[in-house]
Structure 1
Amino acid sequence: MRKFAALCSIVAGFAAIAAAQDYTPQVEHTPNIGAASHAEIGDVVYSERKGSIKECVTPKFNENKNTFLGAYTFSVLEGEPLCKDDSDGKYITQYDNYRNNTVGDSYRYKVNVDFSRNEVKFCSQGACIKRPSSDVEHGKVFVMRPNTSKLAIELSGLSGDAATFLFSEVDDRGNERTREFTVNLSDTKKVRYRGAEIEVTGHQDGSINYVVLNGFS
């Protein structure tokens, strides 16, 4: 009965997290639209992602902590930011950080992050993980909006006037789709794909100079 009550509490908390995340619409353009830029073969010419700037703590370690006599496991993952929810000061992971070891289900639950002297402590649902403060990075992080993708165009080849580009789309779960296309720069200086528009102002020796005119649509 206690396990069932704990499970109900976790599910309710997960729903609250989904409602609490406040993502102010923002698009990150790299490089900025209108800026004169340079790229060599293998470089990303332009990328774009949607999200927001959050105050986050990014661990440099992986650690699991069991709770409820091993029925549940609380996890902190290396390189995965926990970002502050301004409504209550708690932190939210971008991944499922709580696992029911009995049935195998995973949940996402808020985390209390406390800094004291040279230590940082992560606590959630009765489980705590304590590490030296040097084991985390604390600052502003761009967090992708859920259910969106990072879009990018890479210069993958250049032979004479024939420039080959690789378009990639990576969703927030890491799934990637790519497509290659070629533009003859003797016919046009404009590279267009999925609404993005890039003007090539010069090309030579495996590199291009360019300006991004428009982002993806």
Structure 2
Amino acid sequence: MSEWIPHIFTPIKILVLLTFILGLLYLNKQNTRHKVLLCVLFVSVVTEMGGAILTNLSLLYSIAFIVHNTLWLSMLFLFKNTRFLKKIIIAYVVFCVFYFLYKEVDTPLNTDNFIIGAFIYLFTFLTLSFKELKAENIVFFQSNRYLLLCSPLIFFFGYSIMFGFGDHVLTGEVLFRDTLLYDFVSYLSNIIYYLLILLYIYTEKRKDDKL
């Protein structure tokens, strides 16, 4: 058990766990949006902690990618409840399940499902933002819900770029000292991701305190 400790108590894992705990303490469990966010954070905690303990990481991450991305697409659906987006989410889940069952046999880590889900989220987010901007709905861009939707953007974009280079030529590049490009992007993406979620939680708590 002692060999797990250095892998569990890393800056990113501590940040993930802290965000999840604060979410449990301050988010309204009756709010559907908050429930989805807590599910996202729970998946992140299980993935990070499981990654430090389990040996079959490819299976853990492959499943986590599907659940994590589906939850964020569901978050978008809560803001823009359309039949088209609902069909996209269902199609994504069905595709991921079949692709996972087929691809998991041949590859050590199935990152394609993550990249596809991330692309769908980024494209849908940009489309939604453009429509709201065209409608001159400035209040939407100033809202806390927009902050929440923005939180995974860098995370999705950063990891999609890294996962896209399967030959590891780019990800294995050393930026400075012993820091690999993959490690740099990973830390940067996670820090921005969870700090934005923490900011969202803090803003929601302040809003509840004023009621």
TM tier, smaller: under 0.3
**TM-score for both structures, normalised by structure 1:** 0.20
Q: Normalized per residue, which structure has more helix? A: 2
